[in-house]
């Protein structure tokens, strides 16, 4: 997978930008708050139709502009694909080879990316919502049906929560309607859970191998899905739905009192353990950082396994956060295989041969000078 070019219109602090890429590594160099991260973010948004930095699309649109647009020609193993994404106050319009996609789930996956930024340590030590978002975004890249089920799940969940609130406030007494929402939610929840179980299992396989290499075999990393429901990976779909429906019945009175759904994928989490020690709670900063790096490198290999080619890698000001050993491991992993975009404030500490051969772009106040 290879981005041949990138065009931005009214995207954050870029009124108009057009870049071409021919090398494997692209270095964006400049002081903070100049627009380096905005370039990498735009590639992420082009791929996933949402930002890793903000849930509000209007923040991506330039000051006093009505819309923002991102375009790129992406070289895939089956040929070149033109991707276009337009952001407005009313929503998004996504096109593949000039054809507008009616659903974003049909668009996401045309370009696969892995983003690694300092805030990605939140995967290890952040709140459960951050890890759920990580799972949803990564599975969605390789499984459009997952995004479809997730969208429907969130719609049904909102309807069920509203009914629970109405029941609690005596605005409704329709337990029959609750039973209907239960059936729909359980069916969608099981579809999501089966995908999540599979994803965590595959991610663990890759992450364990990588982590063992980083630590010279001293540490064994394991991932554990933390389920708020009684559903297990071994259950058939029918058994899982039955278990969920029984669980909904068991907590029904408490849910009505709270006005929210207490069980399901929207409440789940996953944990990381190192030699059976919880990394989030007891791991040192170095161990947490190594775990995050292992997860990110595992993502690259997992996407390659799923789609048949490597994703584009986005390293947003992260190399300075890694010591020389971790830098070397990361750069040797991507060498000659993964097109990589790197943002950095300077190149003084980046001595690896891979970076010496990179194309360089200098960023200042939303302007990018010619590569040198």
For residues 293 and 302, the answer to whether their CB atoms sit within 8 Å is: no
Exposed/middle/buried for residue 178 (C-beta within 10 Å: 0-12, 13-18, 19+):
buried
- Identify how many contiguous H helices and E strands the chain contains and give both numbers: 12, 16
Is 182 annotated to bind a ligand? Reply is: no
Is 97 annotated to bind a ligand? Reply is: no
Is 212 annotated to bind a ligand? Reply is: no
Is 98 annotated to bind a ligand? Reply is: no
Is 240 annotated to bind a ligand? Reply is: no
Is 34 annotated to bind a ligand? Reply is: yes
Helix/strand/coil for 291 = helix
Query: What is the gyration radius of the CA atoms in the chain, in angstroms?
Result: 22
Is 290 annotated to bind a ligand? Reply is: no
Is 33 annotated to bind a ligand? Reply is: yes
Going by the annotation, the residues of the binding site are 30-37
Going by the annotation, the residues of the binding site for ATP are 30-37
């Amino acid at each position: 997978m290879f981005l041949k070019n990138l065009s931005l219109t009214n995207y954050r602090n870029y009124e108009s930008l057009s870049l071409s890429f021919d090398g494997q590594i692209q270095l964006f160099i400049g002081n903070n708050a100049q627009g380096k991260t905005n370039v990498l973010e735009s590639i992420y948004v082009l791929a996933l139709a949402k930002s890793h930095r903000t849930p509000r699309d209007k923040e991506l649109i330039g000051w006093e502009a009505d819309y923002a647009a991102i375009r790129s020609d992406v070289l895939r193993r089956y040929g070149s694909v033109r991707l276009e994404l337009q952001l407005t106050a009313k929503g998004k319009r996504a096109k593949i080879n000039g054809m507008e996609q009616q659903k974003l789930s049909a668009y996401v996956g045309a370009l696969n990316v892995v983003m690694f930024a300092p805030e990605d340590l939140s995967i290890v030590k952040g709140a459960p919502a951050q890890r759920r978002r990580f799972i949803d975004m990564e599975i969605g890249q390789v499984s459009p049906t997952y995004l479809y089920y997730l969208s429907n799940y969130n719609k049904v969940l909102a309807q069920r929560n509203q009914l629970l609130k109405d029941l609690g406030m005596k605005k409704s007494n329709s337990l029959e309607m609750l039973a209907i929402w239960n059936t729909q939610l359980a069916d969608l929840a099981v579809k999501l859970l089966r995908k999540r179980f599979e994803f965590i299992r595959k991610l663990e396989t890759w992450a364990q191998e990588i982590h063992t290499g980083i630590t010279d075999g001293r540490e064994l990393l394991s991932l554990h899905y933390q389920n708020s429901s009684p559903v297990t990976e071994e259950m058939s779909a029918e058994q899982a739905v039955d278990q969920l429906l029984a669980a909904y019945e068991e907590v029904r009175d408490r849910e009505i009192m709270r006005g929210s759904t207490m069980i399901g994928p929207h409440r789940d989490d996953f944990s990381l353990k190192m030699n059976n020690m919880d990394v989030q709670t007891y791991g040192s900063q170095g161990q947490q950082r190594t775990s995050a790096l292992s997860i990110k490198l595992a993502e690259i290999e997992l996407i390659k396994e799923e789609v048949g080619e490597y994703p584009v890698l986005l390293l947003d000001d992260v190399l300075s956060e890694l010591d020389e050993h971790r830098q070397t491991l990361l750069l040797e992993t991507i060498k000659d295989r993964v097109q990589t975009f790197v943002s950095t404030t300077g190149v003084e500490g980046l001595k690896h041969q891979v970076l010496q051969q990179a194309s360089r772009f200098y960023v200042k106040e939303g302007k990018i000078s010619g590569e040198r």
